[in-house]
Amino acid sequence: MDVLLLTTLFLPLAGALLLGGDRNWARWGALAIALAVLGIAVVLVARYPGGTAPFASTDWPWLDWTAAPIDVRFSVALDGLSLWLFALTALLMVVAVLVGWEAIKEQAPLYYRLLMALETGMLGVFVARDIILFYVFFEFTLIPLFFLIGIWGGRQRRWAAMKFFLFTLAGSVLTFLGLLAVVLWVYYHPAPEAASGRMTFSIAELTAALGDRPMDPTMQIWIFLALFAGFAVKAPLWPLHTWLPLAHVEAPTAGSVLLAGVLLKVGVYGFARFSLPMLPQAAATLMPWLLWISLAGVIYGALVALAQSDIKRLIAYSSVSHLGFCTLGIFAANRLSVAGGVLQMVNHGLATGGLFAVVGMLYERFHTREIADFGGLARRFPRLAFFTLVLTLSSIALPGLAGFAGEFPLLVGVFQRGWAGDAAPHALQLRAIAVLSLAGVVLGAWYMLWMYQRVFFGPERTGDKNRGSGIGDRGSGYEALDISNPKSQIPHQQISGSLSTNPDPRIPNPDPHTAGPYHFPKGEGTIRDLSPREICCLTPLVVMIFWIGLQPGFFLDRMRPTLDDLIAPVTRACETASDLPTADRIPNPESPNPEPPLQ
Amino acid sequence: MSIFTEPVGLSHFLVVGAVLFVCGVICMATKRNVLGVLMGIELVLNGANLNFVAFGSSVLRPPGTEGIGMDGQMIALFVIVLAAAEAAVALAIALSYYHAHATVDVDRGDELRG
Amino acid sequence: MTAADLRLLVPEIVLIAAAVTIYLGGAFSTARRAWSWIAAAALLLAAVALWSQNPSADGGSLGCDALARYVQWFALAAGALLVSLASRPLRFDGTPEYVGSLLLTVAGLMLVAAAEDIVLMFVALELISIPTYVLLYLGRDDAESQESAAKYFFLGVLASAILLYGFSFLYGATGSTAFSEIRAALDGTTILPPGFAVFARLAMVLVFAGLCFKVAAVPFHFYAPDVYQGTTHANAALLSVVPKAAGFVVMARILVAAIPGMEPYSWGVVLAVAVLTMTFGNVMALWQDDFRRLLAYSSIAQTGYILLALAVGLAARDAPGAWNGIVALWFYLATYAAATIGAFATMEYLGRAERRLDSVDDLAGLGRTRPAAAAVMAVCMFSLAGVPPLAGFWGKLLVFGGALSVDTSGTAGWWFTAAAVVGVLNAAVAAAYYLRIVAVMYFRIPLATPPARGGRGAWMSAVACALLVVGIGIYPGPLMRAGNFCDQQLPRVDAGAKHHSPPFGRQKNPPPPQSAPQFGMAATKKVSTPNAYHIRRTLVLSQTRVTTSCHIIFK
């Protein structure tokens, strides 16, 4: 039992149950809890010994029956794969609490309670060492985010929240079946020496058991597809990504930060934790397909991002592209590529999380997210421009920043996978994928820098255009958005309710938020550069980006041993696969008859 | 030997029971008058009753299984009592239905749909 | 009939005596609120009696195995929640009759749970049905309510008749009314008269059809939406719990335990009905605006999941531990009941006597106007949707895990795997309408603050349900263990006769057989021939009911 790790799980949960009072109490309380969790996370990371043994583990029986073998445990621990994602979550939660500091006025206690519940869920996903516990946390994260999007979101928030929840749930129920099938398969094929009759749900034990006694390849593929359904929606991989831009755009800033920063990673984490080590043969067989899908996500996300006029939407699509890189690295199942993929997850969390925070800050100031409404902000807002620049450059993998430290080994690994074994049946495809993935890097640089240039450089498009457009013409609903007016954060349904009689959230109402160039409601003096709070919010991200970029070894070394363990089965499977003729690469001596399609 | 030529035995009772049961179901399905439906209920229950009595009769049982006591007849008595109880409730419901709809035509109750 | 036998009936006798007292007292007293207290006291007394029973007494045609115990406690708990839910007096005459009938249905469910005999079981089922007709009739006094009562009555009687017809063949085939003897006659040790074996199969089909009505399964579900919509929240809660529980008990007793050797025929039927039921219920629920109608379709869909568990139980009774469908059935039933009663209790609490909340839209903005009630409702909805860590999730885990663990060496396994996939996709579809309710509560502007004058009882009931749902969700072990005991003590085919081969192909090393748990009561007891004693007792019961019905009618 490890008190520190348990504290990180239960302290936010206690906060979720107990936070109350008025807005000030709630937000300070939430900040205190988030900082405490971050502090503990730092201590845990500092103490992490490396190696492959689980660290800070707690293992309690949960469903212990005398009469039945089912053995679900409350089992948590950290290892190399989860360590940095865990720390990232703790860090981004502080950011998330800070970004909504002023913006959230309505039902603030509920907001912070949901944030705390979300923190428990996200941390739990990464530390769970039991399949059921993992799934419980995996699904539980949906509930707070559903409310965060639905209550504090933008104009289409109801539809966005529903779509987000239903898409993710539809995928994850299949994952659930897949996980159960894994457990049952191991239970019915116990090791010859230890027939204890205990049905284990422990991830480590299941992985070990499946390493010793692999499943039938056909069955592996079916279970792999079942797991894929949930993780791919969550990640999200193309073409299952359609919920993501909507959810991102409609979510409140903190929701976007956490969604991009942490929750998307849960899908990729699932691939690395379950799909690859438990079903290596399927991962090897399907590798070209998986890589093509990832690549499609990279290119598609980048191309669509190029065409966006809304900054938040652009960053949302850039997430699709970047997550495509992460899965590219994971599915290539090469030592370098997986390490790069995991590090890239952390980097994406820092950079994109930070960019979403920046978008939130812009929106708080100007009530628009249209790129066309901005221009030349760098002169007026140098601090904002600086932070955004670092985040943007990290996002496009400038050497010396975090993005490069992740993307470079990732791509090297993908190339190695393509050129390693000349006899590999898919070598040509793999090479094509490796080369094409470079196009994703180029496109990524294009749309990010273009966006940055349009927003922060160029002619300053501020008051002059606005004054001509006549604010007063827009009617009283528009006036209500006055930034200095405490009512400006009144819930959106009241705004849309007052502006429109159309109850259907799917039909866009003429929205004042995005209808035109921004304006300065009370004269230009009211809009200032970043406040100390906002600097506090972005500084840790930038510091981490520099640290990872300049000293990637510190981060990679701690995750390497675990990752090597995780991908060892796939590597073996790939080697055996490349030895065989293409037509029947999958040895299937155990099932002489062709299996029926299911299982 | 067809069922029409053999001496009256268990199967004849079962056939009559089945006919009663089916008639009752048809009656419940087609009658629009509440009281007609009630009659259908009686037919259905008595079809089942006839089965019980026939199965329980030591005369009709196949050789070797005659000594099974009086259970069938007992059950039939129970069902008669239950049918009476149900009829009592049914009449109360029919009465209030009449109050609400000013008719005993069950097809007129069609307000609940969605 | 010995005193020991009678002692087994004490809880039911207490309830029925209380019901009669309330009926009679209602004729002479104008008190309106006292009746619920008397009912609550009776439930408490019955609980004490049940607790202090000596479980080893031989109950004759009354079983007192773990299943009976489980369902009896379930009935008392549900009864307490329902009495509390309906504690607000009716707007018109009939409050004492209403409360009394509620107690009778609880007593009926307890008797069904214990019945080890066809006669007793049928009479006990009627002891649930007839007071339910009265409850539907008393709940509201408008035309919709009368229509709803009439629909439920006619279809209910038809279902009872089909069930009875099935029972007649069961009796005919085996020559006995006691389950133990029916079982003995059908498991091959006794030679049936020529041609009689087909009666058992016929009986199975008819009994299942009759019970499908009680549990609202396709194709006998069509009454449910209309009846739920046309009645009150309290009645809808009752309908979605008590008859369903009774139906599943009878299914377990007859299909699983009393008709051995039928599993190859029965699981297919049950599985098909299960898949159709869940799909139909979930798809239809998507379009509903009336709250009770929506929950009616939801309860149909949930029946589908429970039937899936039953099908697993029939096809693979000897599956290991938790993955046994019968365990899943009892666990799921309890979690479903808690969440459903909680949802209806919240609705009842939010309304007031003159203005019931009927539509889903009435809940708009509840998250702001009544945050506590909205939280309770949200917990119930998430649990019904099966989102962890609430109770409903564990139910789904057991059901789908069970379906996956069915032997896949034969065709059965493929069907069950396919059913599990359809089932989880259904769960995702179902989430759409459960979430819609949550979304309406939290994401819409409040139109009007609901009066929330439904009474403290309804609110207590709702909170208790929410706590149960959360509590079971956090620590489901005890309830699963109880479900497991239910399964262990149901009679089964000898272990040697039917070998369960594992799913996923070969079995390298069979797990050791599970030893039956040492539970603090004896194994299932059997009676010899049905004797005059239980017949006399059931006669007493039916007379009580006739008297009470007449009392209502002639009042």
Give C115's DSSP letter: B
Find which of A107, A188, A198 to mutate to test the C interface (most C CBs within 10 Å of its CB): A188
Q: Which two tokens stand for residue C395?
A: 């139910």
Per-residue pLDDT tens over the stretch A195-234: 567 788 888 888 888 888 888 888 889 999 999 999 999 8
Spatial neighbors of B58 by CB under 8 A, at least 6 apart, are: B66, B67, B68
- On whether the CB atoms of residues A44 and A58 are closer than 8 A, the answer is no
Touching check for B16 and chain C: CB below 8 Å? no
**Contact: A184, C477; criterion CB under 8 Å:** no
Residues of A in contact with C481 (CB under 8 A): 65-68
DSSP classification of residue C289: -
Residues C243 and C284 grouped into a single domain: no
Per-residue pLDDT at A2: 82
- CB-based contact (8 Å) between B60 and chain C? no
Question: What local confidence, expressed as pLDDT, does residue C538 receive?
Answer: 45
CA distance A16 to chain C (A): 13
- CB contact (8 A) between residue A189 and residue C382: no
pLDDT the model gives residue A66: 52
Helix (H) or strand (E) holding C77: helix C66-85
Q: Is residue C153 within 8 angstroms of chain B, CB to CB?
A: yes
Give Cβ neighbours of residue A597 (< 8 Å, ≥ 6 apart): none
C193 in a structural domain: no
pLDDT (0 to 100) of residue C149: 87
Query: Which residues fall within 8 angstroms of residue C69, CB to CB, at 6 or more apart?
Result: C50, C55, C113, C521
Instruction: Kindly state whether C139 is in contact with chain B, defined as any CB-CB distance less than 8 angstroms.
Output: no
Highest mean pLDDT among C90-94, C421-425, C489-493: C421-425
Listed as ranges, residues in chain A with pLDDT below 50 are 463-524, 579-599
> Are the Cβ atoms of A195 and C401 closer than 8 angstroms?
no
Mean pLDDT over residues B49-64, rounded? 80
Residues 6+ positions from C424 with CB-CB distance below 8 Å: A173, A174, A176, A177, C396, C400
Per CB-CB distance under 8 Å, the chain B contacts of C220 are none
Q: Does C226 touch chain B (CB under 8 A)?
A: yes
HSE of A408, CA atoms in CB hemisphere, 13 A: 15
CB contact under 8 Å between C288 and B114, yes or no, is yes
CB-nearest to C171 from B45, B71, B100 is: B71
Domain end, chosen from C491, C510, C543, is at: C491
Q: Is residue C499 part of a domain?
A: no
Q: CB B28 to CB C230 under 8 A?
A: no
Q: Which of residues 28-57 of B touch C (CB under 8 A)?
A: 28, 34, 37, 41, 44-45, 47-49, 51-52, 54-56
Distance CA C498, CA A342 (A): 50
Backbone angles phi and psi of A521, in degrees to 5: -65, -40
Mean residue pLDDT of chain C comes to 81
Question: Is residue C489 within 8 Å of C383, Cβ to Cβ?
Answer: no
CA-to-CA dists, residue A149 to A356, C223, C499, C532, angstroms: 14, 38, 52, 67
Contact list in B for residue C196 (CB cut-off 8 A) is: 62
**Does the distance separating the beta carbons of A135 and C322 come in below 8 Å?**
no
**Mean pLDDT across the stretch C76-102?**
87
Closest CB from B45, B78, B81 relative to C161: B45
Residue-level pLDDT at A26:
86
Quote the pLDDT of residue A202: 87
* Residues in chain C closer than 8 A to A212 (CB atoms): none
Q: Is A150 on the interface with C (CB under 8 A)?
A: yes
Whether residue C158 and residue B28 make contact (CB cut-off 8 A), yes or no, is yes
Residues C306 and C347 in one domain: yes
Length reported for chain B:
114
Beta bridge partners of A73: A61
Instruction: Look at strands A199-200 and A70-78 and give their pairing.
Output: parallel
Domain limits, chain A? 3-459+533-579
Residue A74, φ and ψ in degrees, nearest 5? -90, 95
Average the pLDDT over each of A373-387, B31-45, C186-200, C342-356 and give the range with the smallest value.
Answer: C186-200
Same domain assignment for residues C235 and C312? no
- Specify whether the backbone of A50 is left (phi greater than 0), alpha (psi in -120 to 50) or beta: left
Instruction: Please tell me the predicted confidence (pLDDT) of residue A421.
Output: 62
Please, are residues A115 and A263 in contact by the beta-carbon 8 Å criterion? no
List the domain boundaries for chain B: 10-103
User: What pLDDT is recorded for position A67?
Assistant: 54
pLDDT for the residue C188 = 67
For chain C, list the contacting chains (3+ Cβ pairs, <8 Å). A, B
CB spacing of B93 vs C549 below 8 angstroms: no
pLDDT digits (tens, 9 = 90+) for A5-24: 888 889 999 988 888 778 88
The whole-angstrom distance between B5's CA and the closest CA on chain C is 19
Q: Name the packing angle between helices C66-85 and C95-114 (round to 10°).
A: 170
Q: Give which of B20, B27, B55 to mutate to test C binding, by max C Cβ within 10 Å.
A: B55
Give the Cα separation of A126 and A119 in Å (integer): 11
- Closest CA relative to residue C294, chosen from C332, C342, C368, C344: C344
The DSSP-derived string for C475-498 is --HHHHHHHHHHHHHS----TTTS
Q: Where residue C247 falls among pLDDT bands split at 50, 70, 90?
A: very high
Report the C-alpha gap between B45 and B39 in whole angstroms. 10
The neighbour count for residue C145, using CB atoms within 10 Å, is 22
- What does the pLDDT read at residue C66? 82
CATH number of B10-103: 1.10.287.3510
Q: How many angstroms separate the CA atoms of A37 and A96, rounded?
A: 13
Q: Let me know the angle formed at the C-alpha of C495 by C491 and C499, rounded to the nearest 5 degrees.
A: 125
Structural domain of residue C402, as residue ranges?
Answer: 272-491
d(CA C223, CA C213): 9
Q: Indicate the pLDDT class of residue C548, thresholds 50, 70 and 90.
A: very low
Give yes or no: residues C484 and C534 share one domain.
Answer: no
- The answer to whether the Cβ–Cβ distance between C427 and A185 falls below 8 Å is no
C407 lies in some domain: yes
Count of pairs with CB atoms under 8 A, one residue in A, one in C: 169
Best interface-test mutation with A: which of C422, C435, C487 has the largest number of A CBs within 10 A? C435
- Please indicate whether, in this complex, the C-beta atoms of B112 and C229 are within 8 angstroms of each other: yes
> C242 and C349: one domain?
no
Task: State mean pLDDT over C323-332.
Answer: 85
Claim to verify: residue C316 and residue C401 sit in the same structural domain: yes
> How many helices (H) does chain A have, and how many strands (E)?
25, 3
- Contact assignment for C389 to A219 by CB distance below 8 Å: no
Instruction: Note the pTM of the prediction, 2 decimals.
Output: 0.86
Q: Are residues C97 and C225 in the same domain?
A: yes
**C283 CB near a chain B CB, below 8 Å?**
no
- Is B85 within 8 Å of C545 when comparing Cβ atoms? yes
Q: Residue A460 has what pLDDT?
A: 74
* Shared-domain flag, residues C243 and C317: no
> Above 80 in pLDDT, residue C196?
no
Same domain, C299 and C242: no
User: Contacts of residue C484 in chain A, CB cutoff 8 Å?
Assistant: 65, 67-68
The reported pLDDT for the residue numbered B60 is: 75
| C236 and C385 belong to one structural domain | no
Same domain flag for C309 and C411: yes
In this prediction, does ipTM exceed 0.90?
A: yes
Nearest to C148 among B51, B64, B112 (CB): B112
Same domain, C240 and C341: no
pLDDT digits (tens, 9 = 90+) for C23-51: 898 888 877 778 888 899 999 999 998 88
Structure-block tokens of residue C470 = 């959360």
**Contact between C389 and A140 using a beta-carbon 8 Å cutoff:** yes
Is the model more confident about B94 or about C531?
B94
CA distance C82 to chain A (A): 29
Average pLDDT over residues C357-366: 86
- Domain-terminating residue out of C491, C514, C535: C491
Q: Inspect the interface and report whether the beta carbons of A189 and C424 lie closer than 8 Å.
A: no
Instruction: Tell me the chain B residues in contact with residue C123 when contact means C-beta distances shorter than 8 Å.
Output: 78, 82
Q: Are A184 and C504 in contact (CB under 8 A)?
A: yes
Q: Per-residue pLDDT tens for C472-529?
A: 998 888 888 888 777 777 776 543 344 444 444 434 344 444 433 333 333 333 333 3
Kindly report the nearest CA distance between residue C94 and chain B, in angstroms.
14
Distances (CA, A) of A140 to A133, C117, C342, C372, C390: 10, 46, 21, 20, 9
Residue at which a domain ends, from C447, C473, C491: C491
Q: What is the pLDDT of residue C44?
A: 93
Asked if C124 contacts C115 with a C-beta cutoff of 8 angstroms, the reply is yes
Between positions 72 and 101 of B, the ones with CB within 8 A of C are 72, 74-75, 78-79, 81-82, 84-86, 88-94, 96-97, 99-101
Q: Is residue C117 part of a domain?
A: yes
Terminal Cα-to-Cα distance of chain C (whole angstroms): 36
Split into its structural domains, chain C has a count of: 2
pLDDT band at C17 (very low <50, low <70, confident <90, very high): very high
- Report how far residue C164's alpha carbon sits from residue B83's, in angstroms, rounded to the nearest whole number: 12
